[in-house]
Amino acid sequence: MECLLKLAKQRCFDGRVVRHLLHLLTLFPLNSLVTLSDGGIAQVLRRDGENYEAPIVKRLSDSEGNAASDKDGPVVVKLGESDLRIVHALPTPGRDEIALSERIVALSHR
């Protein structure tokens, strides 16, 4: 998806077609885990309209690995209205990829 977005910016693909594809698929699948710019881990709850790179997420942990709480700011964050951004997507457990720590997996099921 990232490659398609880059090629659409370079006008190799019709941007309208890529936008329609993103309505069917998503850049960050629901329930996928991502690393945020502050070092924390979050779970994607849903996309935010046409703001493809900034979905609505549930913060799971801070940069130290501590469980996120309302004391440190909102747990559910609309990234399009926040200073935070997604740095990279984390591998999905159970798919021939690097396994996530048990702590992160446990936090995502709360």
Nearest 5°: CA angle at 75, between 71 and 80? 125
50 part of a folded domain? yes
Structure-model confidence comparison of residues 9 and 87, the more confident one: 87
Residue 102 inside a domain? The answer is yes
- Please write the tens of the pLDDT for every residue from 40-61: 999 999 988 878 788 999 999 9
Reported confidence tier of residue 109, pLDDT bands at 50, 70, 90: low
Number of domains, the chain: 1
Q: Which domain holds residue 35?
A: 29-108
- Determine how many CB atoms are found less than 10 A away from the CB of residue 51: 13
